[in-house]
Structure 1
Amino acid sequence: MRIYVIKPGDSLWKLAQTNRTTISQIVAVNELENPNRLVVGESLAIPEPDKEYVVEQGDTLSQIAARYGVTVQKIASFNNIANPSLIVVGQTLFIPYFRHTIRAGETLWAIANRYGVTVAQIVGANALANPSLIYPGQVLRIPAEAKPIKEVNTYITRMDEQGQREVISRGNLFTYLSPFSYGVNEDGSLANLQDTRVLQAAKATNTAPLLTITNTVGGSFSSDRAAAILRNSAVQDTLLANILARMREKGYTGLNIDFEYVFPEDRENYNAFLRKAAARLHPAGFTLSTALAPKVSANQPGLLYEAHDYPAHGAIVDFVVLMTYEWGWAGGEPWAIAPITEVRKVLDYAVTAIPPGKIMMGVPLYGRDWKIPWVKGTYAKTVNLKSAVDLAARYDQAIQYNETYQAPIFRYTDDTGQQHEVWFEDARSMQAKYDLVKQYGLRGVSYWVLGPPLPQNWPVLRSNFRVRKKT
């Protein structure tokens, strides 16, 4: 999958011709509602025709498999598709093999080196009895280049039919699904969550659901609610019993704890609760994970940070989700949601305290639109890639890209004369984040939050990694 940035004079016809693909494939993968409208600076995902196919209206997996000369089972397995009849328009399928026609003078070694595979892989894919007996014009099947295997979690807040469709559409790319959330009550009981639809979708896509608990009261994180749990051993026992019962009842495979704004004096209480939770969950076959504030040092001050003990969590739980986003928060000054410079600072500390193989890096799927000049006490509007590009098109603004923070940005003046500054995510900013995952050797990524449309993300993700599924 290539990433292309629109320049003046570009058209989809031109892009399709240059990249040997079709307009319909570009439209499908980018979910373009108006193919005739392109914005200078907009990034598009461009499928590579020999290696990827974007599902279009009327396609079946058997038709696609036949087109590329592979079996339905092979292409389904390669793309983590649990049900071969369950594919959706816009879904990018990666082809396990592509064709290469041998030219005069080529050797298997040169061909393997060109495509990043081994001679043995080519020999096996083509059942070559004698690897030295190849000839010009012969067509070889080349295995797709191996990608690092990573885990992917996504939080989801929509429990309705739309949320269910989102999981069905993208579920082949998720290891875990974390419906958000079950609030915990002071007596150790759990608030209700209407999660049936998204759990059904998780099952249909072989995605492991994680029961997420939070210390929220009235939609906000409560330090007092966390204290009520963390300072009372009997309440903890009740809570864990309720969690185990709910997980067994609904088919959850693990517990994700997102306790935020915990009092600093409850730091060791939180660690002790995690040890107790691990002792109860692990023998029963359940995983345990936590969400952690983005710290840059062990003793970073602030209510959000002090009770989150990176070394303790890293030693106790199966993995952690680092909430590496919200620098550009709604009530603050305009900035990238996840500036790559700040994410690096968090990772630089995190990998000294937590094994990298236990770290899931948080990735935002949204952006924000601020009024400028910014006034303290005002709040930005949340946007997504599609709505941001729509704004840029409406007000005839080219999209810029901040190389320092690795994020797209533009400004516009609305119909009332008010100036705005917009930061959001696109294919380039997502690629920059996946580069960090590889650089630091992390376990994978965790999205906040499934729903805002960022269609280019999914083929870019799959271009970088194979997603591990739990059986």
Structure 2
Amino acid sequence: MLGASNGVSFAAQSTALPFDDIKGNFAEKEIVELVKEGVVNGTGNRRFEPKKNVTRAEFVTMADRLLKLEPVDADMPSFGDVSSKSWYYGWVEAAIQLGIVEGKNKTQFMPAERITRQEAAVLIVRALKVDPGSNSGNNLPYADADKVASWAAPYVLAARTLGLMDGANGTFRPTDAMTRAETAAVLDRVLKDKVWNKAIHAKTNLGLQIGWQNGLTTTQFKEKVSSSNVNTLVPRWFFLENTQVPISNHADSSLLTWAKQNNKKIWAMLGNHSDSELTHQILSDETKRKTVIQKLTGYVKTYGLSGINVDFENVSPDDRLSLTAFISELGTSLRGAGAVLSIDVSPDLGTDWTEAFDYEALGRYADYVVLMGYDEHWDGDPVAGSVSSLPWVESALNRMLSVVPASKTILALPYYTRDWTLQSGGATSEELSLVQQGQRIRSVYYNRTWDANLGQYVLSYNRQGSQHRIWVEDGRSLGLKTMMAAKRGVAGFAYWYIGAETDDIWTSLSNATRYASY
């Protein structure tokens, strides 16, 4: 199988070829090149078996490896016939999440079925993110063009136009199975394209990767960050207070030391306890405002902080000008101390909840604006729905980018969802971390469908006579939002909150960022 190693080092061979059965094969050079790239393996005993047919799982695996993607050990399988214990599970999940491949139907992937030439054309054109258009196949120059499926015809034409696949003796043979040698020849043609070769071998820039601390001890937080993509920590250290010194300090020296040792930045958070009146008292009082700014700047210098993250909720619309003035003054002071200022904002929905945010001004005075891309449907919302559907986040981000530069914009993604109980008088919900979501799903008998419009699975189940629904957040849904934002050139991503995610999420998001860069 593809996943097995040939067990013998190429460098240790006395022959120049890595396999004994490829000399003279039309794809000999391509196979050698793909072995060097880590795209293909042998089948054991120094054999490649170039004429052997390729399964759907094997083709997907090779395509993933070609694109330098990593296998995703998804917390929730996409298909019932792709076992999490199979060698190809992570490779299939990685391709599914990025939209490179689909199942044979809504419930089955059929990993062991031989991949046909027309299916291979579809997959490789999708993998290269080429839009084949809607050509019906009338332009296919093959004697057997009428045998090409309508869904595959545009891709077959695109594969030919791109120089990736062609027929022989005037035919394309759309339903014939792909051999291992043919597959190697197709994949190597991608590598021979200078643009794709450069992109594939470029190092992925993940940008800012910001993680909020919430509900974790310092030890737990450090442990979770260590196994994540996070490069910037946001511990909840400072809060506005109704005291003589209007700011409290909960800095942790052990986290400071650890962050420095592990090359992580700290943007300590300044919160307001979601207290509208307290926030008004401090922001509207120039003396108190200056005291907070002086104290924060002093903490930045004392602790060697890289920045401050302002997280004010429930700010009165009347404090719009005061909040803008505070951010302007704080930003100037922090930059003088060699630190940056970021501020968290909700999507602009034209409500009192966000009226205090002058997005354009905040984008001018802060170094970064963090758009919290969640709570589309919130705790207490009588209408059930997604916490963060793709079109909602995309609309919110587009609106933000109309007034704030992408280089200053950070998109925050949710590591939580809601389990909704649907009732005649309105819905109620329970917040679930992604870890809890997985546990809940595995404990019930459910129906699940992929909603391509929302960019997530919608899952339903019944318990104690009540119907429940979960708009699932997982590597696939979060990856789609990541790719959408990465294409717009945002400065990075933030995650609410560290410790709520399943382990597979970080691989999914790394893959999404890499794939978006192509």
1:9 maps to 2:81: yes
Match in the other structure for 2:219: 161
Pairing partner for 1:214 from 262, 271, 287: 271
Match in the other structure for 1:354: 404
CA distance 1:12–1:269, shift in 2 (3 Å): closer
> How many Å separate the matches in 2 of 1:443 and 1:350?
13
> How many Å separate the matches in 1 of 2:187 and 2:378?
55
5 Å matches for 1:436-451?
Answer: 436-451=484-499
CA distance 1:370–1:349, shift in 2 (3 Å): same
Instruction: State the 1:418 CA deviation.
Output: 2.9
Match in the other structure for 2:432: 383
Match in the other structure for 1:180: 236
Instruction: State the 1:145 CA deviation.
Output: 3.9
SS of the residue aligned with 1:450? coil
C-alpha contact 1:324 1:363 (8 A) present in aligned 2: yes
SS of the residue aligned with 2:344? strand
More RCO (CA 8 Å, sep 6+)? 1
1:328 maps to 2:381: no
Q: What's the RMSD between the two structures over aligned residues?
A: 3.3
CA distance 1:177–1:17, shift in 2 (3 Å): closer
> How many Å separate the matches in 1 of 2:461 and 2:282?
47
Instruction: State the 1:401 CA deviation.
Output: 2.3
What amino acid is the match of 2:87? A
CA distance 1:195–1:334, shift in 2 (3 Å): farther
1:152 maps to 2:209: yes
Alignment coverage as a number of residue pairs? 356
> How many Å separate the matches in 2 of 1:108 and 1:155?
43
> How many Å separate the matches in 2 of 1:154 and 1:104?
41
5 Å matches for 1:257-272?
Answer: 257-272=310-325
CA distance 1:112–1:369, shift in 2 (3 Å): same
Match in the other structure for 2:473: 425
Instruction: State the 1:106 CA deviation.
Output: 10
What amino acid is the match of 2:84? L
What amino acid is the match of 2:436? S
SS of the residue aligned with 1:435? helix
> How many Å separate the matches in 1 of 2:440 and 2:466?
14
5 Å matches for 1:117-266?
Answer: 117-118=197-198, 144-157=201-214, 158-170=216-228, 173-186=229-242, 187-193=244-250, 195-216=252-273, 221-266=274-319
1:341 maps to 2:399: no
What amino acid is the match of 1:357? S
Match in the other structure for 1:61: none
Instruction: State the 1:273 CA deviation.
Output: 1.3
1:282 maps to 2:335: yes
CA distance 1:10–1:278, shift in 2 (3 Å): closer
> How many Å separate the matches in 1 of 2:408 and 2:288?
29
Instruction: State the 1:114 CA deviation.
Output: 8.0
C-alpha contact 2:416 2:500 (8 A) present in aligned 1: yes
> How many Å separate the matches in 2 of 1:305 and 1:20?
42
> How many Å separate the matches in 2 of 1:258 and 1:192?
15
C-alpha contact 1:334 1:374 (8 A) present in aligned 2: no
What amino acid is the match of 1:338? S
Match in the other structure for 1:36: none
Match in the other structure for 2:33: none
CA distance 1:166–1:110, shift in 2 (3 Å): closer
What amino acid is the match of 1:167? V
CA distance 1:444–1:11, shift in 2 (3 Å): same
Calculate percent identity across the aligned residue pairs.
Answer: 22
> How many Å separate the matches in 2 of 1:191 and 1:240?
13
> How many Å separate the matches in 2 of 1:224 and 1:361?
28
Unaligned stretches of 5+ residues in structure 1: 27-39, 43-100, 122-142, 467-471
SS of the residue aligned with 2:384? coil
> How many Å separate the matches in 2 of 1:149 and 1:438?
9
CA distance 1:381–1:201, shift in 2 (3 Å): farther
What amino acid is the match of 2:376? W
Deviations 1:312-349 (A, max 9, x none): 01111111101110112121132111111111221221
Unaligned stretches of 5+ residues in structure 2: 1-69, 95-106, 110-180
> How many Å separate the matches in 2 of 1:314 and 1:20?
40
CA distance 1:425–1:181, shift in 2 (3 Å): farther
Instruction: Give the TM-score normalised by structure 2.
Output: 0.62
CA distance 1:413–1:194, shift in 2 (3 Å): farther
SS of the residue aligned with 2:222? helix
SS of the residue aligned with 1:12? coil
C-alpha contact 2:312 2:344 (8 A) present in aligned 1: yes
Match in the other structure for 2:27: none
Instruction: Select the structure of larger CA radius of gyration.
Output: 2
Instruction: State the 1:387 CA deviation.
Output: 2.8
Instruction: State the 1:108 CA deviation.
Output: 9.4
CA distance 1:386–1:262, shift in 2 (3 Å): closer
Instruction: State the 1:363 CA deviation.
Output: 0.3
> How many Å separate the matches in 1 of 2:340 and 2:91?
45
CA distance 1:109–1:400, shift in 2 (3 Å): closer
Instruction: State the 1:295 CA deviation.
Output: 0.6
Instruction: State the 1:393 CA deviation.
Output: 2.8
C-alpha contact 1:340 1:405 (8 A) present in aligned 2: yes
> How many Å separate the matches in 1 of 2:187 and 2:508?
31
| Stretches (4+) displaced over 4 A | 2-5, 17-21, 103-110
Instruction: State the 1:19 CA deviation.
Output: 7.2
Match in the other structure for 1:116: 196
CA distance 1:12–1:258, shift in 2 (3 Å): closer
SS of the residue aligned with 1:400? strand
C-alpha contact 1:369 1:422 (8 A) present in aligned 2: yes
CA distance 1:335–1:279, shift in 2 (3 Å): same
> How many Å separate the matches in 2 of 1:273 and 1:434?
31
> How many Å separate the matches in 1 of 2:91 and 2:337?
52
Match in the other structure for 2:148: none
CA distance 1:434–1:17, shift in 2 (3 Å): closer
C-alpha contact 2:233 2:267 (8 A) present in aligned 1: yes
| More moved, 380-389 vs 437-446 | 380-389
Instruction: State the 1:6 CA deviation.
Output: 3.1
